[in-house]
Structure 1
């Protein structure tokens, strides 16, 4: 496993741990939070982050400025990535991939236990193909010098926390997988699923996939009208679809994309570790199709994005001050006041902009894609993994049994046994 991929899993697992009180994966939690804060405060070019902005970004990413941030800044300074000074910190110019590599280094240099390495290794294995707890125990226990009981306890705790998912396939064995399943080798896995569906269901899935290939994203209700709620729940729960949420003061709106829409341009979890490109696509789509002309509606997205990617500011426009707040909190853009109540915006992470633009230009994202977003500012973006967790938690027993069957088909390549 390369360091970018390891860093991505540390961030993924770190986010899961933030929702628990568990202390068994302390090194993962610290490395994950360190990487999250480093991503939020860094840009492609070296710069200074003031203390108020530093604390605001920490809070926005669920890091306590008082109890957690000082230790993280100390570690980042030890790694020579930041230089604390009067009134803030100076931060090296970093890309998203380099942030992941530094996250992995922080973990590697920490005092951590073998079971923490184990959950990272198993996560990568389970993202390639569904596997079993018995198979990974045989593979990983010798490698990391863990007993079968230690591995069993680790896997049980890891599934409860949500590092990866599991479905029972017998009284003694569980199937392990995770939501990154369709980022790699998608065609083979989808074909395996198609072979296990009823003819009508397979036809519906083909129709949805074709529409998503054409448009890039669709409202959730447009997808469920075609598939039906039960079939969609099965497919979503195993990771075939991503559901993102764009929120504002008039409510939350759900969108469906395929993991492959992004993996077409970037083929690893490392490129999707922060879900920043998906957040940028959602915000730009809103600006193209919903925001009014008088607020600063986006009319030439390619020209605008290329200007941002090349390091220039855009604006002034009234809409900039409100439509990109979710991206500000992740350190993707910097927004500055201008005259007359208007604002300008600068892109801090050009590699995120390049990926977002590629997805937008490849799929014809039109007004149909976001027709249900009310004309109000975007203040919240909920990542697909969080929505899939809710889906799996609320799934009925019938849906879980069918999801298990789909996973078995993926695991065997659709071969009839």
Structure 2
């Protein structure tokens, strides 16, 4: 829990075009949802302000407000373009058909989505590409990704879907496995346009690449700062290494979700076992990022604590 002064709240609302009545109503909704407390002096105490809590509160409040077809259409569109850039004309036709909107309303909604930064557009309006700047680095990458995806053959689309489904379930995959599933040529094309993120886990034995999908982590943006998203991907990469490359002698991970929950609770990992060798070798990047803290308990055997709870929650 942390407290924001009335002046900061008012300044933030002013910068984002939120008038006094909207601010008052919004704070009341958050208060009713148990997410904030508003003091007599106008300061706001934010309860449990983590990335996960922000997303959960947003979903709950949105559903409770009985969203209109227009609002549902905006959410639907932003969800679709987060995974794949779309031509503006195609997007307008999609939300018009799916949500029973007249063409003029569909056009207005796309403009509104751009104005509120839910989506971005690259190119001339008549031939623009809609995309999510959180999952695609910029408009040029979005254009390239759109061209690559549009020209995929049927079998290549199937392979891509298989990899995306697997990434959605596991969070990260061994780079060599992704390349094997897609084939070297398709893999290189997709990585080159930013459809996948590559991370690396290094220890005294080897350096191994892992692949994650930006769409699984950052399509909703980065609510507080840049680091948590990248830290969560690095954590998942290290855990995936422990599942796929480590052996039982140095410490093999068999229940990654339970391991993350242990860390999120604040418990010291491997304390009961007197430490594990792999902890001292596979989490150096995370320690440098100050995501975790490792402690040598005996020669070559380490325990670990999570320093950034938010990162662990994102990784779950």
Q: So what's the TM-score if we normalise by structure 2?
A: 0.49
Q: So what's the TM-score if we normalise by structure 1?
A: 0.38
Greater relative contact order, per chain length (Cα 8 Å cut-off, separation 6+): 1
